[in-house]
Amino acid sequence: MTETIEYAAATGALSTIWLLIAIPVLSAAVLLLAGKRADAWGHLLGVGSIAATFALSVYYVVTLAGLDNRAVSLDLFSFIPVTGLQVDAGLLLDPLSAVFILLITGVGGLIHVYSIGYMAHDEGRRRFFGYFNLFVAAMLLLVLGNSFVALYVGWEGVGLASYLLIAFWYTRPNAATAAKKAFIMNRVGDVGLLIAIFLLFATLGSTQYADVFGNADALAGGTATALALLLLLGACGKSGQFPLQAWLPDAMEGPTPVSALIHAATMVTAGVYLIARSAPIYNLTESGQLVVAIIGAVTLMIGCIAGCAKDDIKRVLAWSTVSQIGYMFLAVGLGPAGYAVGILHLLTHGFFKAGLFLGAGSVMHGMNDEVDMRKYGDLAKRMKITFATFTLGYLALIGFPFLSGYYSKDLIIEAALDEGGAKGWLLGGAAILGAGLTAFYMTRLMLMTFFGKARWDRGVHPHESPAVMTAPMIVLAFGSVFAGFLLVNVFPLEEWLEPVFGPRPEAAHVLPPIVVTMIVTAVVAVGIAAAWVFVGRREVARTEPLGVSPLIVAARRNLYGDAFNESVFMRPGQWLTRFLVFVDNRGVDGAVNGVAALMGGGSSRLGRTQNGFVRSYALGMLGGSILVVAALLAVRFG
């Protein structure tokens, strides 16, 4: 250990940043342990605790902004005090974690408020808020931890909360299966993350960020690449990136606020955080970065293609999330040119995607929990607020000029193109194509949901949601519109994050930014037009049309990702375990039983010689004596 980064010690107001985690944990504990007594006021406590953490977060970030050295570290206690494995529990508030705590508590708080209305008629509402608070606490630990171990503790904590919330309606078999699938696919990634942590211990002797990033230059090239790929595996699991993307759409079985907060705005972006946080490691390995960017590009295409063929409104949004996080991976895979841009997209996406999910939840709320868009239609007039906020989120997502997605997505595409050469054209081309597909599937969603003829089931009476639900949607719609402009022009995010990622290298533009914008806008327009041609002009069938092209079939089946997992991992896994059970019973235990039987059989056969006849004993004695004499002779003369 030669160098460590010296973070300033947290003093004054900032020495209480542990409250950010303690408050929601305490609230979760009360909600989960108090039992039915807390049913009456549980949701208020749940919302209140997050509101308090949001207020504290704002206060801390403002305080942080006033410091010269904008990275403060707070040591809490010695977690694992074993020599050689010193793990100190501590927190780090720096510009990167600061934007995350604002996002988590801000958007999280809004979604908590929304949930009061959304879950009003659910008998498990108190439990819901307990899990939700638990999630916020774990997520805050994930981004505030000052070591990879603290990150991992939060990482698994959000995985647990995600499991509990996907399986919230546990009587539904689909929800139970989806929760299990999510946790296990995440665990595949966790194995990578864990091995990376052990590797850090073995090579650097520490996982504190201060030690690791201070000594990152000492890592051998191969080790750095191995670390980068292992961390990437972890990130792919949490963020639903190829090849671990299959769990995220299934996770929509959980209540819609869960989809909005966990499976769109915050938890699934933890992978992006992990890579951005590990920037000093990724900066050492170009091949590691390239793999990140390729994974991002591949995933964004998968997400777009699958999203085009879905009829379930939440699944369209889920695949859209997969694809938008692909953009973020693509960005952070570009290294210093892309870190800040990736985080910018993460923030803007947090606003508009949360808003879209809440809008979808509002639609479902008014449609008796129907999720099939083929049974929607003509809702624009019935749900005016939902329609308006959803439209703003939609425009932000497809990158309509000067809305928030426009800023962040265009910057990613520019940065990808600026890589130059085949790499730049391929990555940038995928990103541009993805923008067009995004416009297509989102316009399709809008047309099927809000326009055309009503295709409702009998007995459905669409109505606008109560104010407690629409108010958060309105706030998020404001974010969808203005966040990009504010974060680029008023509070420049890139400048704020510069202490973490270093200055952005000046690259020669392959294409002038204005040309890129025009190309992207044109492609988006084509996507919208295509949606109009294929969906808007026609009557939407109430059931999924059959006899469609193989491409659509593949997209409906999620590009055969599930089939692949099933045939390559699940079935052989089942055969393997069955085979092992067989060997265990017949082979291992069989050998033991066989030996026992042999002993038993042998002794009973020996026992038969004890037959009580003097003549047979005499014969035995004779035979024995001959053997002895023969042996003696053999030894004597042999």
Partner 1 sequence: MLSIVVFLPLVAALVLLGWPRPPGRAATWAWITASVADLVLVVAVWLTYDGGPGVTEGFGFEERQPWIPGVGSSYHVGVDGLSLPLVALTAVLFLACAVHGLGEDRNRRTYAALFLFLQTVCTGLFVSLDLILFFVFFDLSIVGMYFVIAGWGHGQAARAALKFFLYTFLGSLALLLGFIGLYVGSDPHTFDMVELARSAPLDDRPVFGGLVLLAIFVGLAVKTPTFPFHTWLPPAHTEAPAAGSAILAGVLLKMGTFGFVRIAMPILPEVWQTWAWLIVVVGVVSVLWGALVALAQTSFKRLVAYTSVNHMGYVVLALGAAGMLGGDAVARSVAVTGAVTQMVSHGLLTGALFLLTGAMWDRRRTYEMSEYGGVAGTAPRFAALLALAAFGSLGLPGFSGFIAEFQIFAGSLGPAPVATVLAVLGILVTAGLFLWALQRILLGPRSDTGFPDLRGHETAAIAPLMGLAIVVGLLPAWLLGVIEPAARTVVDLLAP
Interface contacts to partner 1, rule CB under 8 A: 77-85, 149, 152-153, 156-157, 160, 163, 167, 170-171, 173, 175-177, 179-180, 183-184, 187-188, 190-191, 194-195, 197-199, 201-202, 573-574, 576-578, 580-581, 584, 588-589, 591-592, 596
Backbone angles phi and psi of 74, in degrees to 5: -125, 115
Shortest spacing between CB 214 and partner 1, in angstroms = 20
CB of 246 to partner 1, least distance (A): 15
116 to 121, 128, 314, 390, 491: CA distances (angstroms): 9, 10, 20, 20, 32
Beta strands in 103-215 (DSSP E): none
- Least distance in angstroms from the C-beta of 80 to partner 1: 6
Nearer to partner 1 by Cβ, of 184 and 553: the residue is: 184
The residue (of 163 and 501) whose beta carbon lies closer to partner 1 is: 163
Rg (CA), the chain: 31
* End-to-end Cα distance, the chain: 72
CA distance 577 to 147: 37
Minimum CB distance to partner 1 smaller for 515 or for 599: 599
Choice between 80 and 525, CB closer to partner 1? 80
For partner 1, the closer CB: 69 or 574: 574
Give the bridge partners for 82, in sequence order. 85
Query: Closest separation between CB of residue 157 and partner 1, Å?
Result: 7
Contact 154, 138 (CB under 8 A): yes
Which residue, 167 or 292, has its beta carbon nearer to partner 1?
167
Bridge partners, 89 (sequence order):
77
Token code pair at residue 470: 């629409």
CB 58 within 8 A of CB 36: no
Nearer to partner 1, 18 or 482 (CB): 18
Specify the pairing of strand 72-82 against strand 8-9. parallel
* Residue among 299, 301, 291 at smallest CA distance from 332: 291
User: Least distance in Å: CB of 299 to partner 1?
Assistant: 22
Q: Which is nearer to partner 1, 187 or 542 (CB)?
A: 187
CB of 590 to partner 1, least distance (A): 9
DSSP codes joined into one string, 547-616: S--HHHHHHHTGGGHHHHHIIIIIHHHHHHHHHHHHIIIIIIHHHHHHHHHHHHHHHHHHHHT----HHH
- What's the min distance (Å) between Cβ of 344 and partner 1? 31
> Closest distance between partner 1 and the C-beta of residue 20, in Å?
17
With respect to partner 1, which residue has the nearer C-beta, 173 or 505? Answer: 173
Query: If you search the block for the tokens 């989806």, which residue do you land on?
Result: 178
**CA 79 to the chain's CA centroid:** 26
Question: Taking a C-beta distance cutoff of 8 angstroms, is the pair 89, 77 a contact?
Answer: yes
Nearer to partner 1, 517 or 565 (CB): 565
Q: Which is nearer to partner 1, 74 or 167 (CB)?
A: 167
Give the residue from 296, 294, 320 showing the smallest Cα distance to 308.
Answer: 320
CB-count exposure of residue 482 (10 Å: 0-12, 13-18, 19+): middle
Sheet holding 85-93, edge to edge: 8-9, 72-82, 85-93
What is the full DSSP assignment across 226-293? Answer: HHHHHHHHHHHHHHT-TTS-THHHHGGGS-HHHHHIIIIISGGGHHHHHHHHTHHHHTT-HHHHHHHH
Tokens of 47: 């919302």
Q: Looking at beta carbons only, is 577 or 625 nearer to partner 1?
A: 577
Q: Looking at the DSSP assignment, which residues form a beta bridge with residue 312?
A: 372
Supply φ then ψ for residue 87, to 5 degrees. -115, 115
Nearest to 396 by CA among 439, 430, 444, 437: 439
Shortest spacing between CB 198 and partner 1, in angstroms: 4
Contact status, residue 166 vs residue 178, Cβ threshold 8 Å: yes
Q: Smallest distance from the beta carbon of 371 to partner 1, in angstroms?
A: 20
Closest C-alpha to 192, from 261, 268, 275, 298: 275
Q: Which residue stretches of 419-485 are H helix?
A: 421-450, 467-485
Instruction: Identify which of residues 191 and 220 has a Cβ nearer to partner 1 in the complex.
Output: 191
Smallest gap from Cβ 37 to partner 1, in A, equals 14
Bond preceding residue 243 cis, omega within 30 of 0: yes
Calpha distance 97→62 (Å, rounded):
13
* Beta carbon of residue 186, minimum distance to partner 1 (angstroms, whole number): 9
- Residue nearer to partner 1 on the CB measure, 11 or 567: 567
CB of residue 264 to partner 1, shortest distance in Å: 23
Nearest approach, Cβ of residue 600 and partner 1 (Å): 11
